[in-house]
Amino acid sequence: EAQVTQNPRYLITVTGKKLTVTCSQNMNHEYMSWYRQDPGLGLRQIYYSMNVEVTDKGDVPEGYKVSRKEKRNFPLILESPSPNQTSLYFCASSLFGGLMNNEQFFGPGTRLTVL
Amino acid sequence: QQQVKQSPQSLIVQKGGIPIINCAYENTAFDYFPWYQQFPGKGPALLIAIRPDVSEKKEGRFTISFNKSAKQFSLHIMDSQPGDSATYFCAASKWNSNYQLIWGAGTKLIIKP
């Protein structure tokens, strides 16, 4: 089954404790992206990757890191989480970066709470 | 210039009614307007999208109406069903961008049986 998977689905942590949220897709997609979803704000893009070893900042990159060492994986790293990073996080992928005939598929989400 | 304003925040409609969700954008360079549907515990999924060369697009029971001069677009759901209960997001982008969508805040829709 073609899908985007994220782990963990739920995570409660404390301020300053480094964490990684994994994202993997099995569709051989070039483009991958991370979003955070907050009430009243919709989705905001954190980082995106056009292909292996090619990453760039989205709208809200502060406090986050990403890497793209393999095509299928795009982990999101919080080196020193803070309470304002409490949010619902989504990973997404698409065949390539453009919009034409190119649907973006989302993972199921990771709900992160930073105490 | 980059905002997309979505209303209402929440909406309750009886089964068979026609919920309407509205969005307004500011950046006149935007030329791609998708709607996403999100069920609880799931990621958003593309529902329908429109480009400004047409004023209306239908896919099944879902219709987008687009008013370029007013910089507004809306989603109508005909013959709504309880299974349509979800959160709906509008978004906007430049067609030649790399999925750099600007999202609305979302509308939680409940269809009562």
Question: Does the pLDDT at position A98 exceed 90?
Answer: no
CA distance A63 to B18: 42
CB-CB under 8 Å, B99 with A97: yes
Residue A10 forms contact with B (CB below 8 Å): no
CB-CB under 8 Å, A90 with B43: yes
Give me the pLDDT at residue B1, please.
53
Question: Does the pLDDT at position B87 exceed 60?
Answer: yes
Per-residue pLDDT of A54-94, as tens digits, reads 999 999 999 999 999 999 999 999 999 999 999 999 999 99
> Between the CA of residue A44 and those of A55, A81, B45, B51, B82, what are the distances in Å?
16, 18, 15, 22, 29
Instruction: State chain B's mean pLDDT as an integer.
Output: 93
Q: Judging by DSSP bridges, how do beta strands B20-25 and A10-13 pair with one another?
A: unpaired
Per this entry, what is the length of chain A? Answer: 115
Kindly identify which residue of chain A lies nearest to residue B2, measuring between CA atoms. A59
At A73, the amino acid letter reads N
CA distance B62 to B10: 18
Give me the pLDDT at residue A24, please.
98
At residue B2 the predicted structure's pLDDT band, cuts being 50, 70 and 90, is: low
CB-CB under 8 Å, A33 with B105: no
Question: Does the pLDDT at position A52 exceed 90?
Answer: yes
Chain A residues with beta carbon closer than 8 angstroms to that of B106: 42
Q: Higher model confidence: residue B70 or residue B1?
A: B70
The lowest-confidence range among A37-46, A90-99, B20-29 is A90-99
Mean pLDDT of B90-105: 86
Give me the pLDDT at residue A103, please.
86
CA distance A103 to B46: 7
Give me the pLDDT at residue A47, please.
96
